[in-house]
Every structure is written in C-alpha cells, then in structure tokens.
Amino acid sequence: MNKKKIINDPVYGFISIPSDLIFDLMQHPYFQRLRYIKQVGMTHLVYPGALHTRFHHALGALHLMSLAVETLRYKGQKITEAEEEAVSVAILLHDIGHGPFSHALEQIIVKGVWHEDISKLLMNKLNQEFNGRLSMAIEIFNGTYPKNFLHQLVSSQLDMDRMDYLNRDSFFTGVSEGVISSDRIIKMLNVVDDHIVVEEKGIYSIEKFLIARRLMYWQVYLHKTVIAAEFLLSNILKRARAVAIEGEELKCTPALNHFLMNSINSEEFLMEDTNLEIFAGLDDTDIMAAVKIWEGSTDFVLSKLCHDLVRRNLYHVDITNELPDKDKVEDLKQKAVIKYGLSYEDVSYFVFTDDVRNNAYKPGDGSILILMKDGSVKDITAASDNSNLEALAKTVKKYILCYPKDLI
C-alpha cells in the first residue's frame, strides 16, 4: 500500500505525509477521533466558520515541523532521520488527549486531569502497539531527550503548535488580526546552546506573533459570547452528573454515561486503562446528542440549559476590570429564584461570577530568545525596542458576571 499521501490543506496547500509510521498513526482510531473534536470549542456560535478540528490542526503543526527541521538542517544543525521522524510524531500527537470541544470541557469530564496528561497516556499506549517505535518521540514530548531544542519545537512559547493554531484559527474565524508570518519566523530559527533562537532580523515577525496571540485571545478565545457558550455547556455536564447521581436515568452514549455515573478522580484515571479507553471513545457528537436528548429531561434546570444551548439563547456576560457589584449579583439571583421557581442553590447554574486571564508572553518560561548580530542572545522583551512587549508580559485579569438575558 502506498502510504506517501498528500493532503490538501486550506491554510498551507499540499501537506505530505513523511513516513509510513506517521501514516499508520494517522489511521489509528485515537487520531481519527480528532476529526470529531472542534479546535476552538464553541467559537462557531460567534464565528460560523470556526468548525475546523483538532485533526486539521495536528496536520498543520506537522507541516510546520517539517519546515522547521529543513531550516535547522540548512543552518548546520545535525538532526538525524530518526530524530526528524520522532519530532514529527511528537507534534502530530501533541493534542491527541483532548476531550470533546477541546478546552471547553477540560476539567469537567475528568477533574484534575489535563489533556497533556491524557496525550502522554495515549502515546504510551500507541508505543506498545507499535513495538516501541514511539519511544524517542515520547522522550522529545516529555523534554527528556538530550537535544532540548527538539522539545522546544513541540512545546514552548514559539512552537509549531502555537504557530499553526494562530494561522488556522484566524483563517477559519476570519479574524485577520491573528495572521502571523509563520514562514518567515521558521526561516529565522536557529539553535544556540541547545536552545531555539530567532535571528535578529526576524524580531519584528516575533513582535507581530505576540501581539497577534494577545488579540486572538480577547477577540476569539475569550470573546464574551464564546465564554457564555462554554460556561453553558460545562453547566449542562455538571447538572447532568448531579441529576444522574440522584437517580434520574439520562440517555446518552455508553462512553459519556461512564463519566456521568462515576466520579473518577485523577489518580483513578491515570492508573486504570479502562477509563482511558472509554475516554478515547468520546468526541463532540457524544455531547451534542446528549444535549438534544436531555432537552426533554424532567429536571427543569437541565432541560432549560439544554434548550438554551440548542437555540443559542446564551448567557448575557458582563466583563469588567473590577469584581462585579455584590448587590447586583444578589438581585439577579433573587430574580432568578422568582422567575424560574428555583431553590437558591440551583440559581448558581444561571447567575454566577468567574474570572478570565490573558498573558501573551511569560519571560523566563521557555523564553523567546533573539540571536543578536554580535552573537549575544537576549530575551525578546530586552531585544525589542517595542515597549508594548513589556505590557504583553503582564497577566491581564478580568471579571465576568453571567446571567440569563430574560432577567434584565
């Protein structure tokens, strides 16, 4: 069978599948599942074109990795064919542990377990199936391989993951502020003392990359309507679990039912293969099928939450720099008690506060290093004459208040 396939990608054009191993991994059910997990959760309810998947993103990151390896080899860095395949496998599988709707339901289905943890578990399972051929890829993914710069290409503040998702998410949302010069950035990459650096003439492309990331967070990932939709979805799962534990039979797929009926902690999940295998059968379709069924639940709270999501009747969201006014929050809760006939405890599904944080760059946390013309290496914030970068390094915290629009 010819496994040297090419795929037509809307962002980069034709993407080549570089090896038989990568083709076989892409054909595996763990990876094919990513076709049914949206890359940006509920963002399509704001930007209708944002229906792309984790499958798309993994292929894009794989393509950028091939360009990065080619560039570094051209500049004299020794990367063996085995290392090239391993770093390609690592980036291909970096998001394989994502659950339904990506980040929207992280920590809801299994509390205390992040998608990176699940990715490691699934990669280890695949390594067993493929007779140890993923061992080097796993070392690179975990940062234990001797050549640290290979890990940085997979996971850092200037990795192929971030470069692809900014390009891809801006493409499918239509938000042009997220477009970055990924080709130019990759051409400017080099390695100094086992660290990825960017040559000085690429500094403006890095500045644009960081600014684009900040803008995409506020305009797309943390858009207030996206926040409203994702909180609504997570509240549905929380309520469904509470209702199921109290004894109401909720129809859903066996995989989703397993996580509704069993409060599985992180230790149990990480230790028992059964939970991992069942999780690997979950995708967006399990959730949306259940939401449509649960709209007919006898539980008012669950029924209304599902009804509102199906009809895109989302929470109203106030985003402020200060904590929401306590009197306003209390007034809204009392209105909800009267309007919906709820107990004060159940009102928290409809009126609640939270916060969101955004920081485009963290100095010292896998810093973006600039190789100056005199041979010195500086952090981007020190190398740049753009004073805005110092502001980008600060975490911006905002407060949110969510409540139904019919309470206004």
N-terminal to C-terminal alpha carbon distance within the chain:
62
The pLDDT assigned to 346 comes to: 96
- Which domains, and CATH codes, for the chain? 6-190+202-211 (1.10.3210.10)
pLDDT over 70, % of the chain: 99
Count of C-beta atoms within a 10 Å radius of residue 188: 20
Report residue 296's pLDDT band, with 50, 70 and 90 as the boundaries.
very high
Count of C-beta atoms within a 10 Å radius of residue 249: 8
- Condensed to tens digits (0 to 9), the pLDDT of residues 26-48 reads 999 999 999 999 999 999 999 99
Given the structure tokens 């400017």, which residue do they identify?
A: 188
Length of the chain: 408
The pLDDT assigned to 365 comes to: 62
Q: Is the pLDDT of residue 17 over 90?
A: yes
Instruction: Look up residue 68 and give its amino acid.
Output: A
Cβ neighbours of residue 128 closer than 8 Å, sequence gap 6 or more: none
Dist. CA 290–CA 137, nearest whole Å: 36
Q: What is the mean pLDDT of residues 212-226?
A: 94
Kindly list the distances between the CA atom of residue 20 and the CA atoms of 2, 3, 138, 318, 384, in Å, as whole numbers in the listed order. Answer: 9, 6, 18, 51, 43
Q: What is the mean pLDDT of residues 350-369?
A: 86
CA count, 13 A, side-chain hemisphere, 52:
24
Instruction: Look up residue 57 and give its amino acid.
Output: H
- Condensed to tens digits (0 to 9), the pLDDT of residues 190-201 reads 999 999 999 999
What's the whole-number average pLDDT of the chain?
94
Q: Which residues make beta-bridge pairs with 189?
A: 198
The pLDDT assigned to 393 comes to: 77
Yes or no: say if 161 and 199 are a contact pair by the CB < 8 Å rule: no
Kindly list the distances between the CA atom of residue 131 and the CA atoms of 30, 32, 52, 317, in Å, as whole numbers in the listed order. Answer: 17, 20, 32, 51
Among 103-117, 131-145, 170-184, the least confident range: 103-117
Cβ neighbours of residue 292 closer than 8 Å, sequence gap 6 or more: 306, 310
The pLDDT assigned to 147 comes to: 97
- Condensed to tens digits (0 to 9), the pLDDT of residues 49-95 reads 999 999 999 999 999 999 999 999 999 999 999 999 999 999 999 99
